[in-house]
């Protein structure tokens, strides 16, 4: 099963609402189970440099079916996945990417958010996830 465009748009809408409530300008990407871009939003004034980061966070979360912040903890020096960010054409291993799961717990896609602190990025991405549950 794949995330639908309707679901991706709902996640982006909720993430944009959260970003607005926090007075943030974000880039928000949603990918399907194959890590292909389904939907994207760049809020007015969001950093151009964060466009690619948001997409890579979503792809990274899908590639490894875990939040990017969790992957980041495993990829620290001495960690079991040290230097993994250099694989797959470049990964993002800090918070802001979260897998999207269906009602059966199967990963159907992922959301990636970039444009603020990693804590805010994660919080906005979580709002997108929460809208789908």
d(CA 13, CA 8): 9
Specify the pLDDT at position 89: 87
Please answer whether residues 8 and 39 qualify as being in contact, where contact means their C-beta atoms are separated by less than 8 angstroms.
Answer: yes
pLDDT(1) > 90: no
pTM, to two decimals: 0.94
Please answer whether residues 53 and 28 qualify as being in contact, where contact means their C-beta atoms are separated by less than 8 angstroms.
Answer: no
Specify the pLDDT at position 110: 98
Mean pLDDT, the chain, integer: 96
Query: What is the C-alpha R_g of the chain?
Result: 13
In this structure, the number of other CB atoms found within 10 A of the CB of residue 122 comes to 21
pLDDT(133) > 90: no
Tokens 């969790």, residue located: 70
pLDDT in tens, 59-111: 999 999 999 999 999 889 998 888 898 888 889 999 999 999 999 999 999 99
All domains of the chain in start order, with CATH: 5-130 (3.30.450.150)
């Amino acid at each position: 099963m794949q995330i639908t465009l309707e679901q991706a748009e709902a996640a982006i809408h909720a993430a944009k609402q959260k970003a607005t409530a926090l007075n943030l300008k974000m880039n928000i990407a949603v990918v399907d189970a194959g890590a292909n871009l389904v939907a994207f939003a760049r809020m007015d004034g969001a950093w151009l440099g964060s466009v690619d980061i948001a997409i890579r966070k979503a792809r990274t979360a899908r590639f490894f079916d875990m939040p990017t912040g969790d992957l980041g903890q495993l990829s620290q020096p001495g960690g079991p996945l040290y230097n993994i960010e250099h694989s797959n054409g470049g990964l993002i291993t800090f918070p802001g990417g979260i897998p999207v799961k269906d009602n059966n717990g199967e990963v159907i896609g992922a959301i990636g958010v970039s444009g603020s602190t990693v804590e805010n990025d994660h919080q906005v991405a979580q709002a997108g996830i929460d809208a789908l549950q």
